[in-house]
Amino acid sequence: MRERLPILQLGCLLLIASPLLAKEPPPLAVGAKAFTESVTLAEIATLLGKASGVEMKPTTELGGTRVLWSALKSGEIDVYPEYTGTIREELFRGESLSDFDAIRKRLAEEGISMTDPLGFNNTYAIGVKRSLAEKLNLKTISDLKSHANLTYGFGNEFMDRADGWPSLKTTYGLNPAEIRGMEHALAYRALAADEIQVTDAYSTDPNIRQFNLQILQDDRFHFPRYDAIYLYRTELEQSHPQFVARLKEMSGKLSDEQMLALNQEVELGDKTSAVVAAQFVREAFRINVSVESGGLISRIWRTTLDHLFLVIISLFAAILIGVPAGVIAAKTKLPGQIILGAAEIVQTIPGLALLVFMGVIFIRIDLPSIGAFPVIVALFLYSLLPIIRNAMVGLNEIPASLQESATALGLNWSARLRLVELPLAAPLILAGIKTTAVINVGYAALGGLIGAGGYGQPIMTGLRLNSERLMLEGAIPAAFMALAVKLLFEKTERFVVPKGLRLQEE
Protein backbone atom coordinates (compact mmCIF):
# COMPACT_ATOMS: atom_id res chain seq x y z
CA MET A 1 0.00 0.00 0.00
CA ARG A 2 2.85 2.36 0.83
CA GLU A 3 4.43 1.66 -2.55
CA ARG A 4 1.22 2.71 -4.27
CA LEU A 5 0.92 5.94 -2.30
CA PRO A 6 3.55 7.95 -4.23
CA ILE A 7 2.01 6.79 -7.49
CA LEU A 8 -1.45 7.89 -6.34
CA GLN A 9 -0.03 11.23 -5.18
CA LEU A 10 1.67 11.73 -8.53
CA GLY A 11 -1.56 10.89 -10.35
CA CYS A 12 -3.55 13.36 -8.25
CA LEU A 13 -0.91 16.03 -8.82
CA LEU A 14 -1.04 15.55 -12.58
CA LEU A 15 -4.84 15.61 -12.51
CA ILE A 16 -4.84 18.90 -10.62
CA ALA A 17 -2.12 20.44 -12.78
CA SER A 18 -3.51 19.29 -16.13
CA PRO A 19 -5.74 22.38 -16.62
CA LEU A 20 -2.72 24.55 -15.95
CA LEU A 21 -0.55 22.57 -18.34
CA ALA A 22 -3.15 22.66 -21.12
CA LYS A 23 -2.02 25.01 -23.80
CA GLU A 24 -4.49 27.71 -24.77
CA PRO A 25 -5.13 27.86 -28.52
CA PRO A 26 -3.42 30.91 -30.06
CA PRO A 27 -5.63 33.77 -31.21
CA LEU A 28 -6.47 34.04 -34.89
CA ALA A 29 -4.41 36.74 -36.57
CA VAL A 30 -6.20 39.03 -39.03
CA GLY A 31 -4.00 40.93 -41.48
CA ALA A 32 -4.58 43.99 -43.63
CA LYS A 33 -2.73 46.04 -46.20
CA ALA A 34 -1.67 49.60 -45.48
CA PHE A 35 -4.77 51.38 -46.74
CA THR A 36 -8.06 52.29 -45.09
CA GLU A 37 -10.41 49.91 -46.87
CA SER A 38 -8.27 46.87 -46.11
CA VAL A 39 -7.92 47.87 -42.45
CA THR A 40 -11.69 48.39 -42.10
CA LEU A 41 -12.48 45.00 -43.66
CA ALA A 42 -9.93 43.38 -41.35
CA GLU A 43 -11.61 45.03 -38.34
CA ILE A 44 -14.97 43.65 -39.52
CA ALA A 45 -13.48 40.13 -39.69
CA THR A 46 -12.00 40.61 -36.22
CA LEU A 47 -15.37 41.59 -34.74
CA LEU A 48 -17.13 38.67 -36.47
CA GLY A 49 -14.55 36.34 -34.97
CA LYS A 50 -15.05 37.73 -31.49
CA ALA A 51 -18.83 37.41 -31.93
CA SER A 52 -18.21 33.73 -32.73
CA GLY A 53 -16.36 33.25 -29.45
CA VAL A 54 -12.89 33.24 -30.98
CA GLU A 55 -9.95 35.18 -29.59
CA MET A 56 -8.75 37.47 -32.36
CA LYS A 57 -5.54 39.38 -32.95
CA PRO A 58 -5.65 42.18 -35.54
CA THR A 59 -2.28 42.67 -37.27
CA THR A 60 -3.04 45.47 -39.69
CA GLU A 61 -1.16 47.79 -42.05
CA LEU A 62 1.42 45.17 -43.01
CA GLY A 63 2.48 46.67 -46.31
CA GLY A 64 1.96 45.18 -49.76
CA THR A 65 0.30 42.12 -51.23
CA ARG A 66 3.32 39.83 -51.12
CA VAL A 67 3.89 40.47 -47.41
CA LEU A 68 0.30 39.47 -46.57
CA TRP A 69 0.26 36.49 -48.92
CA SER A 70 3.52 35.08 -47.55
CA ALA A 71 2.32 35.59 -43.97
CA LEU A 72 -0.97 33.81 -44.76
CA LYS A 73 0.73 30.80 -46.32
CA SER A 74 3.22 30.50 -43.46
CA GLY A 75 0.49 30.73 -40.81
CA GLU A 76 1.63 34.02 -39.31
CA ILE A 77 -1.82 35.38 -40.12
CA ASP A 78 -5.02 33.39 -40.64
CA VAL A 79 -7.21 35.67 -42.73
CA TYR A 80 -7.02 38.95 -44.65
CA PRO A 81 -9.13 40.84 -47.21
CA GLU A 82 -8.00 40.61 -50.84
CA TYR A 83 -9.27 41.27 -54.37
CA THR A 84 -9.83 38.84 -57.22
CA GLY A 85 -7.95 41.04 -59.66
CA THR A 86 -4.91 41.01 -57.39
CA ILE A 87 -5.09 37.21 -57.09
CA ARG A 88 -5.20 36.81 -60.88
CA GLU A 89 -2.73 39.50 -61.89
CA GLU A 90 -0.29 39.57 -58.97
CA LEU A 91 -0.31 36.37 -56.92
CA PHE A 92 -0.75 34.00 -59.87
CA ARG A 93 0.35 36.15 -62.76
CA GLY A 94 0.67 34.33 -66.05
CA GLU A 95 -1.82 31.63 -65.06
CA SER A 96 -5.21 31.41 -66.71
CA LEU A 97 -7.76 31.85 -63.92
CA SER A 98 -10.90 32.70 -65.83
CA ASP A 99 -13.53 32.50 -63.06
CA PHE A 100 -14.06 32.13 -59.33
CA ASP A 101 -13.95 28.33 -59.49
CA ALA A 102 -10.53 28.45 -61.14
CA ILE A 103 -9.28 30.87 -58.48
CA ARG A 104 -10.63 28.65 -55.68
CA LYS A 105 -9.00 25.58 -57.14
CA ARG A 106 -5.64 27.32 -57.45
CA LEU A 107 -5.84 28.71 -53.91
CA ALA A 108 -6.70 25.25 -52.57
CA GLU A 109 -3.32 24.03 -53.83
CA GLU A 110 -1.73 26.50 -51.40
CA GLY A 111 -3.96 25.48 -48.48
CA ILE A 112 -5.98 28.70 -48.79
CA SER A 113 -9.72 29.26 -49.27
CA MET A 114 -11.74 32.33 -50.17
CA THR A 115 -15.22 33.62 -49.48
CA ASP A 116 -17.69 34.66 -52.15
CA PRO A 117 -17.36 38.31 -53.26
CA LEU A 118 -18.36 40.84 -50.59
CA GLY A 119 -20.35 42.82 -53.16
CA PHE A 120 -18.16 45.67 -54.39
CA ASN A 121 -15.56 46.07 -57.11
CA ASN A 122 -12.61 48.21 -56.06
CA THR A 123 -10.76 48.36 -59.34
CA TYR A 124 -7.76 50.52 -60.12
CA ALA A 125 -8.33 53.87 -61.79
CA ILE A 126 -6.21 56.71 -63.16
CA GLY A 127 -7.06 60.18 -61.92
CA VAL A 128 -6.12 63.80 -62.55
CA LYS A 129 -7.34 67.05 -60.99
CA ARG A 130 -10.70 68.01 -62.45
CA SER A 131 -9.40 71.48 -63.36
CA LEU A 132 -6.54 69.94 -65.37
CA ALA A 133 -8.91 67.50 -67.08
CA GLU A 134 -11.11 70.38 -68.22
CA LYS A 135 -8.14 72.46 -69.34
CA LEU A 136 -6.56 69.65 -71.42
CA ASN A 137 -9.86 67.94 -72.35
CA LEU A 138 -8.76 64.68 -70.68
CA LYS A 139 -11.56 62.09 -70.64
CA THR A 140 -9.86 58.74 -71.22
CA ILE A 141 -6.52 57.21 -70.31
CA SER A 142 -5.68 57.24 -74.03
CA ASP A 143 -5.86 61.05 -73.96
CA LEU A 144 -2.76 61.12 -71.75
CA LYS A 145 -0.61 59.95 -74.66
CA SER A 146 -0.87 63.42 -76.22
CA HIS A 147 0.49 65.07 -73.05
CA ALA A 148 3.88 63.51 -72.39
CA ASN A 149 4.98 66.55 -70.36
CA LEU A 150 2.78 65.56 -67.40
CA THR A 151 4.44 64.15 -64.27
CA TYR A 152 3.08 60.81 -63.04
CA GLY A 153 3.14 59.76 -59.37
CA PHE A 154 2.03 56.24 -58.48
CA GLY A 155 1.94 54.16 -55.32
CA ASN A 156 5.02 51.99 -54.87
CA GLU A 157 3.10 48.74 -55.28
CA PHE A 158 1.38 49.97 -58.45
CA MET A 159 4.80 50.72 -59.93
CA ASP A 160 5.74 47.03 -59.89
CA ARG A 161 2.47 45.12 -60.14
CA ALA A 162 1.81 43.10 -63.28
CA ASP A 163 -1.52 44.88 -63.68
CA GLY A 164 -0.03 48.24 -62.72
CA TRP A 165 2.31 50.64 -64.45
CA PRO A 166 4.44 48.11 -66.40
CA SER A 167 1.44 46.83 -68.35
CA LEU A 168 -0.52 50.10 -68.30
CA LYS A 169 2.19 51.96 -70.22
CA THR A 170 2.30 49.15 -72.78
CA THR A 171 -1.47 49.00 -73.20
CA TYR A 172 -1.80 52.74 -73.77
CA GLY A 173 1.64 53.55 -75.18
CA LEU A 174 2.37 56.07 -72.40
CA ASN A 175 5.81 57.62 -72.12
CA PRO A 176 5.73 60.48 -69.57
CA ALA A 177 8.62 62.84 -69.12
CA GLU A 178 8.83 61.98 -65.41
CA ILE A 179 7.34 59.27 -63.21
CA ARG A 180 7.75 58.89 -59.46
CA GLY A 181 7.04 56.05 -57.08
CA MET A 182 5.84 57.06 -53.61
CA GLU A 183 3.68 56.10 -50.66
CA HIS A 184 0.16 56.08 -52.08
CA ALA A 185 -1.27 58.42 -49.42
CA LEU A 186 1.39 61.02 -50.26
CA ALA A 187 0.45 61.00 -53.95
CA TYR A 188 -2.74 62.95 -53.22
CA ARG A 189 -0.78 65.66 -51.42
CA ALA A 190 1.63 65.86 -54.32
CA LEU A 191 -1.32 66.07 -56.72
CA ALA A 192 -2.91 68.92 -54.74
CA ALA A 193 0.41 70.78 -54.74
CA ASP A 194 0.81 70.26 -58.53
CA GLU A 195 4.04 68.35 -57.95
CA ILE A 196 2.49 65.54 -59.99
CA GLN A 197 -0.46 65.60 -62.39
CA VAL A 198 -1.45 61.92 -62.78
CA THR A 199 -1.87 59.25 -60.11
CA ASP A 200 -3.47 55.88 -59.47
CA ALA A 201 -6.59 55.55 -57.33
CA TYR A 202 -9.17 53.01 -56.24
CA SER A 203 -12.77 53.26 -57.34
CA THR A 204 -13.99 53.29 -53.71
CA ASP A 205 -11.36 55.80 -52.57
CA PRO A 206 -12.91 58.83 -50.78
CA ASN A 207 -9.89 60.92 -51.78
CA ILE A 208 -11.38 61.05 -55.27
CA ARG A 209 -14.06 63.38 -53.95
CA GLN A 210 -11.93 65.08 -51.35
CA PHE A 211 -9.30 66.16 -53.89
CA ASN A 212 -11.86 66.74 -56.66
CA LEU A 213 -10.31 64.25 -59.08
CA GLN A 214 -11.47 63.31 -62.54
CA ILE A 215 -11.27 59.54 -63.11
CA LEU A 216 -10.22 58.86 -66.68
CA GLN A 217 -12.16 56.22 -68.58
CA ASP A 218 -10.31 52.93 -69.03
CA ASP A 219 -11.19 52.91 -72.74
CA ARG A 220 -9.01 49.89 -73.53
CA PHE A 221 -10.34 47.88 -70.57
CA HIS A 222 -6.91 47.38 -69.07
CA PHE A 223 -7.89 46.94 -65.42
CA PRO A 224 -9.70 43.72 -64.47
CA ARG A 225 -12.45 43.50 -61.85
CA TYR A 226 -11.28 43.67 -58.27
CA ASP A 227 -14.07 41.96 -56.37
CA ALA A 228 -13.36 42.07 -52.65
CA ILE A 229 -13.17 38.72 -50.84
CA TYR A 230 -11.58 37.27 -47.71
CA LEU A 231 -8.72 34.80 -47.97
CA TYR A 232 -8.31 32.42 -45.05
CA ARG A 233 -6.37 29.30 -44.19
CA THR A 234 -8.45 26.26 -45.17
CA GLU A 235 -7.72 24.55 -41.84
CA LEU A 236 -9.98 27.14 -40.15
CA GLU A 237 -13.00 25.32 -41.58
CA GLN A 238 -12.24 22.49 -39.16
CA SER A 239 -10.77 24.39 -36.23
CA HIS A 240 -13.07 27.45 -36.26
CA PRO A 241 -16.18 26.59 -38.32
CA GLN A 242 -18.40 29.23 -36.68
CA PHE A 243 -15.98 32.01 -37.56
CA VAL A 244 -15.69 30.80 -41.18
CA ALA A 245 -19.50 30.67 -41.40
CA ARG A 246 -19.72 34.28 -40.18
CA LEU A 247 -17.03 35.30 -42.66
CA LYS A 248 -18.97 33.72 -45.51
CA GLU A 249 -22.07 35.66 -44.46
CA MET A 250 -20.24 38.80 -45.61
CA SER A 251 -20.99 37.75 -49.20
CA GLY A 252 -22.95 40.50 -50.94
CA LYS A 253 -23.13 42.64 -47.80
CA LEU A 254 -21.22 45.65 -49.22
CA SER A 255 -22.03 47.57 -52.40
CA ASP A 256 -19.64 50.05 -54.01
CA GLU A 257 -21.58 52.93 -52.43
CA GLN A 258 -21.58 51.32 -48.97
CA MET A 259 -17.85 50.65 -49.02
CA LEU A 260 -17.17 54.18 -50.20
CA ALA A 261 -19.32 55.50 -47.34
CA LEU A 262 -17.35 53.45 -44.80
CA ASN A 263 -14.06 54.71 -46.23
CA GLN A 264 -15.30 58.28 -46.05
CA GLU A 265 -16.27 57.91 -42.40
CA VAL A 266 -12.71 56.87 -41.58
CA GLU A 267 -10.74 59.25 -43.78
CA LEU A 268 -13.03 62.28 -43.73
CA GLY A 269 -15.19 61.72 -40.65
CA ASP A 270 -12.41 61.39 -38.06
CA LYS A 271 -13.49 57.90 -36.95
CA THR A 272 -11.25 54.91 -36.52
CA SER A 273 -11.62 51.83 -38.71
CA ALA A 274 -12.54 49.82 -35.61
CA VAL A 275 -15.43 52.15 -34.74
CA VAL A 276 -16.75 52.17 -38.31
CA ALA A 277 -16.44 48.37 -38.52
CA ALA A 278 -18.39 47.94 -35.27
CA GLN A 279 -21.14 50.19 -36.57
CA PHE A 280 -21.37 48.12 -39.77
CA VAL A 281 -21.48 44.79 -37.90
CA ARG A 282 -24.23 46.03 -35.60
CA GLU A 283 -26.35 47.16 -38.56
CA ALA A 284 -25.64 44.29 -40.99
CA PHE A 285 -25.61 41.36 -38.55
CA ARG A 286 -27.67 42.67 -35.64
CA ILE A 287 -24.78 41.76 -33.34
CA ASN A 288 -24.11 43.99 -30.36
CA VAL A 289 -20.34 44.56 -30.60
CA SER A 290 -18.19 47.28 -29.12
CA VAL A 291 -14.58 48.36 -29.49
CA GLU A 292 -12.14 49.74 -27.01
CA SER A 293 -11.14 53.29 -27.89
CA GLY A 294 -8.34 54.21 -25.53
CA GLY A 295 -7.42 57.82 -24.96
CA LEU A 296 -4.31 59.59 -26.16
CA ILE A 297 -2.31 58.83 -23.01
CA SER A 298 -3.10 55.11 -23.05
CA ARG A 299 -2.25 54.88 -26.78
CA ILE A 300 1.10 56.61 -26.30
CA TRP A 301 1.86 54.42 -23.29
CA ARG A 302 1.13 51.26 -25.27
CA THR A 303 3.21 52.33 -28.28
CA THR A 304 6.02 53.45 -25.95
CA LEU A 305 6.21 50.00 -24.35
CA ASP A 306 6.23 48.36 -27.79
CA HIS A 307 8.93 50.74 -29.01
CA LEU A 308 11.09 50.24 -25.91
CA PHE A 309 10.85 46.47 -26.34
CA LEU A 310 12.20 46.71 -29.90
CA VAL A 311 15.01 49.08 -28.91
CA ILE A 312 16.12 47.38 -25.67
CA ILE A 313 16.20 43.79 -26.98
CA SER A 314 18.07 44.72 -30.17
CA LEU A 315 20.52 46.99 -28.30
CA PHE A 316 21.25 44.39 -25.61
CA ALA A 317 21.97 41.74 -28.26
CA ALA A 318 24.18 44.18 -30.18
CA ILE A 319 26.22 44.94 -27.04
CA LEU A 320 26.71 41.23 -26.31
CA ILE A 321 27.99 40.62 -29.85
CA GLY A 322 29.42 44.03 -30.77
CA VAL A 323 31.88 44.52 -27.89
CA PRO A 324 33.58 41.10 -28.27
CA ALA A 325 33.61 41.62 -32.05
CA GLY A 326 35.27 45.00 -31.49
CA VAL A 327 37.91 43.35 -29.30
CA ILE A 328 38.61 40.76 -32.02
CA ALA A 329 38.78 43.54 -34.64
CA ALA A 330 41.32 45.40 -32.50
CA LYS A 331 43.48 42.37 -31.74
CA THR A 332 43.53 40.63 -35.14
CA LYS A 333 44.18 41.97 -38.61
CA LEU A 334 42.36 39.82 -41.20
CA PRO A 335 39.43 38.73 -38.98
CA GLY A 336 39.13 42.32 -37.80
CA GLN A 337 38.88 43.63 -41.35
CA ILE A 338 36.24 41.01 -42.22
CA ILE A 339 34.14 41.84 -39.13
CA LEU A 340 34.32 45.60 -39.67
CA GLY A 341 33.68 45.29 -43.42
CA ALA A 342 30.61 43.12 -42.89
CA ALA A 343 29.18 45.60 -40.38
CA GLU A 344 29.83 48.50 -42.78
CA ILE A 345 28.07 46.68 -45.63
CA VAL A 346 24.97 46.09 -43.49
CA GLN A 347 24.93 49.77 -42.53
CA THR A 348 24.70 50.81 -46.20
CA ILE A 349 21.49 48.83 -46.81
CA PRO A 350 18.36 51.00 -46.54
CA GLY A 351 16.20 50.03 -43.57
CA LEU A 352 13.11 49.18 -45.62
CA ALA A 353 15.14 47.09 -48.06
CA LEU A 354 16.69 45.15 -45.18
CA LEU A 355 13.26 44.40 -43.71
CA VAL A 356 11.96 43.15 -47.05
CA PHE A 357 15.08 41.06 -47.67
CA MET A 358 14.89 39.45 -44.24
CA GLY A 359 11.19 38.79 -44.71
CA VAL A 360 11.95 36.79 -47.86
CA ILE A 361 14.75 34.86 -46.15
CA PHE A 362 12.80 34.21 -42.95
CA ILE A 363 9.83 32.80 -44.83
CA ARG A 364 12.10 30.23 -46.48
CA ILE A 365 13.67 29.12 -43.20
CA ASP A 366 10.36 29.09 -41.30
CA LEU A 367 11.00 32.15 -39.13
CA PRO A 368 8.51 35.00 -38.47
CA SER A 369 8.49 37.51 -41.32
CA ILE A 370 6.14 40.03 -39.65
CA GLY A 371 5.88 41.43 -36.15
CA ALA A 372 8.67 42.23 -33.71
CA PHE A 373 11.19 39.52 -34.59
CA PRO A 374 12.39 40.75 -38.03
CA VAL A 375 12.49 44.34 -36.74
CA ILE A 376 14.64 43.34 -33.78
CA VAL A 377 17.01 41.44 -36.08
CA ALA A 378 17.27 44.45 -38.42
CA LEU A 379 17.94 46.85 -35.51
CA PHE A 380 20.53 44.44 -34.13
CA LEU A 381 22.38 44.38 -37.44
CA TYR A 382 22.27 48.17 -37.72
CA SER A 383 23.56 48.50 -34.15
CA LEU A 384 26.76 46.55 -34.68
CA LEU A 385 28.89 49.04 -36.62
CA PRO A 386 29.07 51.93 -34.09
CA ILE A 387 29.75 49.52 -31.21
CA ILE A 388 32.37 47.47 -33.07
CA ARG A 389 34.15 50.51 -34.48
CA ASN A 390 34.24 52.42 -31.19
CA ALA A 391 35.44 49.38 -29.25
CA MET A 392 38.18 48.79 -31.81
CA VAL A 393 39.29 52.44 -31.87
CA GLY A 394 39.16 52.70 -28.08
CA LEU A 395 41.41 49.67 -27.65
CA ASN A 396 43.81 50.69 -30.41
CA GLU A 397 44.28 54.17 -28.92
CA ILE A 398 45.56 52.88 -25.58
CA PRO A 399 49.20 54.01 -25.24
CA ALA A 400 51.72 51.22 -25.69
CA SER A 401 53.46 52.29 -22.46
CA LEU A 402 50.35 51.44 -20.43
CA GLN A 403 50.05 48.03 -22.07
CA GLU A 404 53.73 47.34 -21.38
CA SER A 405 53.29 48.37 -17.73
CA ALA A 406 50.39 45.95 -17.37
CA THR A 407 52.52 43.17 -18.86
CA ALA A 408 55.39 44.02 -16.53
CA LEU A 409 53.03 43.59 -13.59
CA GLY A 410 52.54 40.00 -14.67
CA LEU A 411 49.01 40.31 -16.02
CA ASN A 412 48.08 37.77 -18.70
CA TRP A 413 46.16 38.86 -21.80
CA SER A 414 42.69 38.28 -20.34
CA ALA A 415 43.48 40.10 -17.10
CA ARG A 416 45.11 42.92 -19.05
CA LEU A 417 42.02 43.23 -21.23
CA ARG A 418 39.58 43.10 -18.30
CA LEU A 419 41.44 45.30 -15.81
CA VAL A 420 43.26 47.80 -18.00
CA GLU A 421 42.27 47.97 -21.65
CA LEU A 422 38.47 47.77 -21.46
CA PRO A 423 38.24 50.36 -18.63
CA LEU A 424 40.43 52.73 -20.65
CA ALA A 425 38.34 52.14 -23.80
CA ALA A 426 35.04 52.42 -21.89
CA PRO A 427 34.36 56.07 -22.82
CA LEU A 428 34.48 55.34 -26.55
CA ILE A 429 32.57 52.07 -26.17
CA LEU A 430 29.80 53.85 -24.27
CA ALA A 431 29.74 56.59 -26.88
CA GLY A 432 29.19 53.96 -29.56
CA ILE A 433 26.41 52.33 -27.56
CA LYS A 434 24.77 55.71 -26.98
CA THR A 435 24.90 56.53 -30.70
CA THR A 436 23.44 53.14 -31.51
CA ALA A 437 20.60 53.52 -29.00
CA VAL A 438 19.56 56.91 -30.38
CA ILE A 439 19.66 55.60 -33.96
CA ASN A 440 17.63 52.55 -32.95
CA VAL A 441 14.85 54.72 -31.55
CA GLY A 442 14.43 56.22 -35.01
CA TYR A 443 14.87 53.04 -37.02
CA ALA A 444 12.40 51.13 -34.83
CA ALA A 445 9.59 53.20 -36.38
CA LEU A 446 9.94 50.97 -39.45
CA GLY A 447 8.23 48.32 -37.34
CA GLY A 448 4.94 49.99 -38.19
CA LEU A 449 5.28 48.59 -41.71
CA ILE A 450 5.11 44.95 -40.62
CA GLY A 451 2.90 44.99 -37.54
CA ALA A 452 5.60 45.32 -34.87
CA GLY A 453 3.85 48.23 -33.15
CA GLY A 454 5.77 51.05 -31.56
CA TYR A 455 5.77 54.67 -32.67
CA GLY A 456 5.77 53.58 -36.29
CA GLN A 457 2.14 52.46 -35.99
CA PRO A 458 0.56 55.93 -35.52
CA ILE A 459 3.03 57.41 -38.00
CA MET A 460 2.02 54.93 -40.72
CA THR A 461 -1.66 55.35 -39.88
CA GLY A 462 -1.25 59.12 -40.04
CA LEU A 463 0.32 58.84 -43.49
CA ARG A 464 -2.54 56.62 -44.64
CA LEU A 465 -5.23 58.96 -43.33
CA ASN A 466 -3.34 62.15 -44.18
CA SER A 467 -3.54 63.03 -40.47
CA GLU A 468 -0.79 65.24 -39.08
CA ARG A 469 -2.15 64.65 -35.57
CA LEU A 470 -1.55 60.89 -35.79
CA MET A 471 1.88 61.33 -37.35
CA LEU A 472 2.88 63.66 -34.52
CA GLU A 473 1.48 61.15 -32.02
CA GLY A 474 4.33 58.89 -33.07
CA ALA A 475 7.00 61.39 -34.05
CA ILE A 476 7.00 63.60 -30.93
CA PRO A 477 7.28 60.73 -28.38
CA ALA A 478 10.03 59.19 -30.54
CA ALA A 479 11.98 62.46 -30.36
CA PHE A 480 11.56 62.60 -26.57
CA MET A 481 12.61 58.98 -26.24
CA ALA A 482 15.78 59.62 -28.26
CA LEU A 483 16.59 62.59 -26.00
CA ALA A 484 15.87 60.54 -22.87
CA VAL A 485 18.14 57.73 -24.10
CA LYS A 486 20.95 60.22 -24.73
CA LEU A 487 20.63 61.69 -21.24
CA LEU A 488 20.44 58.23 -19.68
CA PHE A 489 23.75 57.18 -21.20
CA GLU A 490 25.39 60.44 -20.17
CA LYS A 491 24.30 59.76 -16.58
CA THR A 492 25.48 56.16 -16.88
CA GLU A 493 28.91 57.35 -18.00
CA ARG A 494 29.33 59.27 -14.74
CA PHE A 495 28.96 56.05 -12.72
CA VAL A 496 30.80 53.66 -15.02
CA VAL A 497 33.73 55.76 -16.25
CA PRO A 498 36.12 57.55 -13.86
CA LYS A 499 35.98 61.32 -14.23
CA GLY A 500 39.45 61.60 -15.65
CA LEU A 501 38.65 59.16 -18.50
CA ARG A 502 35.36 60.70 -19.65
CA LEU A 503 35.20 62.07 -23.19
CA GLN A 504 33.62 65.27 -21.89
CA GLU A 505 34.62 66.25 -18.39
CA GLU A 506 32.19 68.23 -16.26
The per-residue pLDDT of the chain, averaged, comes to 85
pLDDT value, residue 21: 43
Which pLDDT band, with edges at 50, 70 and 90, does 5 fall under? very low
Q: Which residues lie below 8 Å from residue 439, measured CB to CB, with a gap of 6+?
A: 382, 383, 386
Q: Which residues lie below 8 Å from residue 223, measured CB to CB, with a gap of 6+?
A: 85, 123, 124, 125, 163
pLDDT value, residue 20: 40
Q: Kindly tell me if the per-residue pLDDT of 501 is higher than 70.
A: no
Query: Domains of the chain by range and CATH?
Result: 24-120+226-285 (3.40.190.10), 124-216 (3.40.190.120), 296-501 (1.10.3720.10)
pLDDT value, residue 17: 43
3-state secondary structure of 114: strand
pLDDT value, residue 384: 92
Pairing relationship of beta strands 151-155 and 79-83 according to DSSP bridges: unpaired
Torsion from C-alpha of 268, 271, 274, 276, nearest 10 degrees: -70
Which pLDDT band, with edges at 50, 70 and 90, does 426 fall under? confident
Question: Could you tell me what percent of the chain has a pLDDT over 90?
Answer: 40
How far is residue 134's CA from residue 213's CA, in Å, rounded to a whole number?
A: 11
Which pLDDT band, with edges at 50, 70 and 90, does 153 fall under? very high
Measured between its terminal Cα atoms, the distance across the chain in Å is 77
Q: Kindly tell me if the per-residue pLDDT of 506 is higher than 50.
A: no
How far is residue 90's CA from residue 99's CA, in Å, rounded to a whole number?
A: 16
How far is residue 122's CA from residue 131's CA, in Å, rounded to a whole number?
A: 25
- Phi and psi at residue 368, in whole multiples of 5°? -60, 135
Q: Kindly tell me if the per-residue pLDDT of 135 is higher than 90.
A: yes
Which pLDDT band, with edges at 50, 70 and 90, does 406 fall under? low
How far is residue 32's CA from residue 78's CA, in Å, rounded to a whole number?
A: 11
The H-assigned helical ranges of 75-179 are 84-86, 100-108, 130-136, 156-160, 165-172
Span 452-470, pLDDT tens digits: 888 888 888 887 777 788 8
pLDDT value, residue 210: 82
- 117-126, 174-183, 223-232, 359-368, range with the lowest pLDDT: 359-368
Span 6-41, pLDDT tens digits: 454 444 444 444 444 445 668 899 999 888 899 999
pTM over 0.85: no
